[in-house]
Structure 1
């Protein structure tokens, strides 16, 4: 018994010695925290805060951004992972959708871009897809309308021959400080774009998808952790994650994979068309890497999930691309 007590006292003294050493170090530290330096973990340095103070009119044109999002991914070399495939990308005119379209084309896929009415952005995306040697079809319209979604799929098959990959990416986002500030019209627009649009496009596409094909949905960190100023948007992104998992279970027997990418903050027109010019300068600053991602940093995740050579055994996954562990 005495030996047990002595051992316990010895351990306690050891703990106190370690504590004292740490306390001494803490006492000599500068009381002011050093500013976190944005992390650059890739092949090049990406823009950091403060970002340009620019507020865009919705739906937001990438062409109007002072700091152009980086989507060309010059360091990414294609290897035929998507040869012979055809993809529909909603919201493919700009941002993440544009970057995905370019990389899909680099991997050998033809692409149909579905967008609302951002014609200038869409034409630029088409130019880049065609520069990769692939065909690009532009289809403008509202994914809230099921009849439009059916026509978009039919047009894709008529012009490009088939459909192999659906990327659900179109979104509406508008912040609100409190729940009472969200009008019924605002709430309805968010849900019908972000949830109904994904549902409609999946339903319209499914009759044309076969074993080896896939659906990839764009989720968000807000769907995992919530955001106090994006209540309705967070709700829809959480719903997209659940829809992804449920649909994956529903379609697994048919050999159709369903996954989602959940990005953190990304420099696209979506956020400058939401946040004020004052707030947008700090967009992405609170992320683990201390900066927002550029679209070209997110797009390879979609290639990974689209290519059977990379992810034939992955379905129902929510792939976080957030610059590190978050929340």
Structure 2
């Protein structure tokens, strides 16, 4: 057993989880890899997005923290960014709305003076045992939140992205090995991987790099708020490493892709899956 049986209402809150996920609050040490960069991170209030925000700040970046509704989690993330001596801007709103995506990019430019790194990470999922359980509205909302939002964010950001900028999409092991109970989510994660591969070729001539990270089972608020308690209890136990990953264990991949150390990395997908292969 990896974690106790538990359940929350979506979108879930990090502070209410048992155990509370490790986003690097006490452990991540920066090495000036992102000094002076300006990053927009969606879903940055908790989970992977929070780990990325903390790491980026400790590496020297200013951060716009995009989140849906979890004010306490978002403010906690912002405090870690400020404690690192960097600027934190909180922007609340629903990424399934194309206009909010455009407004979010403009707010980033206005508040930070530009944008160098875009991390499209926010996601919605829900577990269903049959296709009939998935409503039209849920299907449309999942695609709008996870996949279409990245299109709108990238399109809005492009006029502000210069040579050396980086776009990173959060894909998933589900992009290659889809869980049948997460069908809409898996479709979007395959789409993100594919979209990033297309963008890497489209934007390479402009000096803009585009990559994706494919997490395996990671312990985030998405899990207890979208899966039945018995699945939460066993979450991650079927990986070769035998456990769910912690958000901080992905931070290094996102830092590499955003940094100048990844200057020849574009069109890549980094698997952080606990041993589940992505070939």
TM-score band w.r.t. shorter chain: over 0.9
Deviations 1:165-198 (A, max 9, x none): 0000010000111222211011111111111111
Report the equivalent of 1:320.
Answer: 271
**Is contact 1:288–1:326 with CA below 8 Å preserved after alignment?**
no
- 3-state SS, counterpart of residue 167 of structure 1: strand
Q: Distance in 1 between matches of 2:142 and 2:18?
A: 27
1:260 aligns with 2:212: yes
1:57 aligns with 2:4: no
Report the equivalent of 2:232.
Answer: 280
Q: Distance in 2 between matches of 1:301 and 1:226?
A: 22
Measured after TM superposition, the shift of residue 110 of structure 1 is: 0.3
TM-score (norm 2): 0.97
Deviations 1:257-306 (A, max 9, x none): 00000000000001111111222110000011000000000111000111
Report the equivalent of 2:56.
Answer: 104
TM-score (norm 1): 0.83
Aligned length: 278
- 3-state SS, counterpart of residue 143 of structure 1: coil
Measured after TM superposition, the shift of residue 50 of structure 1 is: 3.5
Q: Distance in 1 between matches of 2:182 and 2:173?
A: 11
Report the equivalent of 2:201.
Answer: 249
Measured after TM superposition, the shift of residue 80 of structure 1 is: 1.0
Measured after TM superposition, the shift of residue 73 of structure 1 is: 5.7
Runs of 4+ in 1 over 2 A off after TM superposition: 73-77
**Is contact 2:28–2:248 with CA below 8 Å preserved after alignment?**
no
Choose 1 or 2 for highest CA Rg.
Answer: 1
Name stretches of at least 5 consecutive residues in structure 2 with no aligned partner: none
**Is contact 1:175–1:229 with CA below 8 Å preserved after alignment?**
yes
Query: Mapping of 1:286-301 within 5 angstroms?
Result: 286-301=238-253
RMSD: 1.2
- Larger RCO (CA under 8 A, 6+ residues apart): 2
Deviations 1:31-74 (A, max 9, x none): xxxxxxxxxxxxxxxxxx33122111011111221210001264
Report the equivalent of 2:149.
Answer: 197
1:306 aligns with 2:252: no
**Is contact 1:167–1:217 with CA below 8 Å preserved after alignment?**
yes
Report the equivalent of 1:227.
Answer: 179
